[in-house]
Amino acid sequence: MNKLETIISLAKRRGFVFQSSEIYGGLNGCWDFGPLGVELLRNLKESWWREMTFRDDVEGVDASILMHPRTWEASGHVAQFSDPMIDNKTSQARHRADNLIEEYIDRMIKKKKTQLAIEIEEKLLVATEPADFYKIIIDHQIPDPVSGTCDWTEVRSFNLMFKTFIGPLEDTSSVVYLRPESAQGIFVNFKNIMESSRQKLPFGIAQIGKAFRNEINTKNFLFRTREFEQMEMQYFIKPGSELEWFEYWKDQRLNWYADLGMPIDKLKLKVHDKLAHYANHAVDIEYEFPFGWGEIEGIHSRTDFDLSRHTEYSGKKLEYVDTVNNERFIPYVIETSGGVTRSLMAFLCNAYTEELAPSEIGKMEPRTVLKFHSKLAPVKVAVFPLVNKDGMPELAENIYHDLRKSFMAQYDTGGAIGRRYRRQDEIGTPFCLTIDGQSLEDQTVTIRNRDTMLQDRIPVDNIKKYIVDLLG
């Protein structure tokens, strides 16, 4: 098993992530979050929400997933939200043509055919139409990784939006889309929010919510799925100040990942080679996954494109009136657009550690531990009676029930203490409390730290404060 497969297997075994509708054979590109996964997800979203909205200049919103279909004409998604798709006639494998070429370039770099890789990369940079991608694949005889053959269909453009119908009639007048990004729910509410919250520029609107994309290939677990969650913020600013705010938000967002325990050498900023026609700066925050570097969040300077388009398509003026300087204008936007589920996968990969650690009798043994930042850890504390007799379970249960009012906690009486520690290590629980013989005499317990594996003895009355202080 490679590292990613090991992580997926642990995620399933311990109840973080399951394949969607598994008993029916699964549904490609969709995943379910189990008891621990849902806690991790909630902690991640809570951390983002606090970071982004517990400040004076950002408001929250929760817009509906189904939106007026004109939204997606205005945003450009109906005309342009598509990927180039190509099929191999022998294997029937379907690929995103740009990804097929990128993967070929990576293979050429690994084979030290640098000149060829650069040549293809240059062509890919200017490719926009399906025919451009097709020409690169044919000119360079890029083979299908499955069959090894080059018998390709034409490249076709495939719109990634899921379509459905509103009401009982399935005709073109009732078509709606499952939103492919949460951002448009922010733009269409720009005026409502600015007026109701009496915000002045610069200010932002943040949202966490589901998005859906009919991806051609889903792969790498939660990295590319058809249903996923995003955490997005649009920051509305005065035209001309975009570079300053772009730099500000880039730093803020990078620091958020680092503060939650991602080592800085596992993060990288990738400046976009190809800018969308409306954008004037764009950078991706990438994380080094077990399969290589991949985007976890994009920071984009989007000019006044979105609000101008919605003004044009809706006929409603989405402008800002600056009463101090006596001017009206359409604000520019800096966007921070991250994936909740994709980041969750990054945090899971980052936390996963296999190491040698001393057992209870001092022998070095392998242990698997999820070294989550304590803010993200799904379970904060576990409580164990050393043995299931002599009054220890009664005291342990009391402590557990009390802690459970404040923290997500687990109670475990099964097996040797060492094995109970290992079970908690494997799900990333920062603290384990053991109630032993001495606890009954002096009302103290041992508290063991997941990462250092060191134990302290503390009074029962201090447990909550001790944990709160360390959780930060």
Binding site for ligand ATP (CB under 6 A): 181, 213, 215, 224-225, 228, 230, 295-298, 337-339, 341-342
CB of 462 to ligand ATP, least distance (A): 41
Question: Cβ closer to ligand ATP: 109 or 276?
Answer: 276
Residues 273 and 128: their CA atoms lie apart, in Å, by 13
Question: Cβ closer to ligand ATP: 179 or 450?
Answer: 179
Question: Cβ closer to ligand ATP: 185 or 385?
Answer: 185
Question: Cβ closer to ligand ATP: 162 or 313?
Answer: 162
Q: Distance of CA 124 to CAs 103, 139, 349, Å?
A: 12, 12, 30
The closest of 408, 376, 402, 417 to 464, measured between CA atoms, is 402
CB of 321 to ligand ATP, least distance (A): 31
Show Cβ contacts of residue 268 under 8 Å, excluding neighbours closer than 6 positions: 285, 286, 288, 293
CA 246 to chain centre: 21
What 3-state DSSP class applies to 245? helix
CB of 296 to ligand ATP, least distance (A): 5
CB of 270 to ligand ATP, least distance (A): 11
Task: Assess contact for 229 and 213: CB atoms under 8 A.
Answer: no
Residues 255 and 273: their CA atoms lie apart, in Å, by 23
Question: Cβ closer to ligand ATP: 181 or 436?
Answer: 181
Question: Cβ closer to ligand ATP: 179 or 213?
Answer: 213
The bridge status of strand 163-165 relative to strand 175-177 is antiparallel
CB of 162 to ligand ATP, least distance (A): 12
Question: Cβ closer to ligand ATP: 343 or 444?
Answer: 343
Residues 268 and 293: their CA atoms lie apart, in Å, by 8
φ/ψ (deg, to 5) at 17: -140, 130
Residues 150 and 91: their CA atoms lie apart, in Å, by 10
CB of 6 to ligand ATP, least distance (A): 21
Which residue lies nearest ligand ATP, judged by its C-beta?
A: 339
CB of 350 to ligand ATP, least distance (A): 15
Show Cβ contacts of residue 270 under 8 Å, excluding neighbours closer than 6 positions: 283, 284, 286, 293, 295
CB of 394 to ligand ATP, least distance (A): 47
Cα angle 444, 387, 397 (rounded to 5 degrees) comes to: 60
What 3-state DSSP class applies to 311? helix
Residues 200 and 202: their CA atoms lie apart, in Å, by 6
Question: Cβ closer to ligand ATP: 233 or 399?
Answer: 233
CB of 338 to ligand ATP, least distance (A): 5
CB of 187 to ligand ATP, least distance (A): 15
Question: Cβ closer to ligand ATP: 128 or 141?
Answer: 128
Provide the residue type at 356 as one letter: L
Question: Is 221 exposed, middle or buried, given 0-12, 13-18 or 19+ CB atoms closer than 10 A?
Answer: buried
Question: Cβ closer to ligand ATP: 345 or 433?
Answer: 345
Residue 108: Cβ within 10 Å count? 20
Task: Assess contact for 299 and 275: CB atoms under 8 A.
Answer: no
